[in-house]
Amino acid sequence: MPKWKLITEFSFDSAHYIKDYNGPCGRMHGHTYKVRVQAKSSKLHSSEYCPHEVMVADFKTLRWAKKDVTQGGLDHCVLNEVLPPEYETTAEMIAKYIYDVTKKQLPLDVKLKVAVSETPNSWVEYEDD
């Protein structure tokens, strides 16, 4: 069976604080978040931008979070004000949030993995089982 794996990376700048954190991360601060999205599928699909079944997923769809907050993304926002309350603003929960929003925009058979970094040497990944 054929299988495709698509990987895209992007970044966005946002501020946040971790609620009730005893230390500097409990105060408002900012990061340039790096995001890596991996999508796998054994078939190709169309997208809202292309009617032909020629892609695992559209890069534009996978990179939605890099858009300015006024356009539905996460760039230049305070994450605590944008993410729903069930998502604390740790890297783990930001990865899950990006995963959850992205997954809703993809065909059901596409397996997804989202990695988020707040600093150059620390990453977290969230993925399908």
Domain borders along the chain are 4-127
Which of the pair, 14 or 128, is modelled with greater confidence? 14
Provide, rounded to the nearest whole percent, the portion of the chain with pLDDT above 70: 100
pLDDT digits (tens, 9 = 90+) for 54-69: 999 999 999 999 999 9
pLDDT digits (tens, 9 = 90+) for 69-103: 999 999 999 999 999 999 999 999 999 999 999 99
Is the domain covering 4-127 a CATH 3.40.190.10 domain?
Answer: no
Evaluate whether 18 touches 89 at the Cβ level (below 8 Å).
Answer: yes
**pLDDT score at 91:** 97
Residue 60's H or E segment, with its range, is helix 59-62
pTM of the model: 0.95
Q: Is the pLDDT of residue 34 over 80?
A: yes
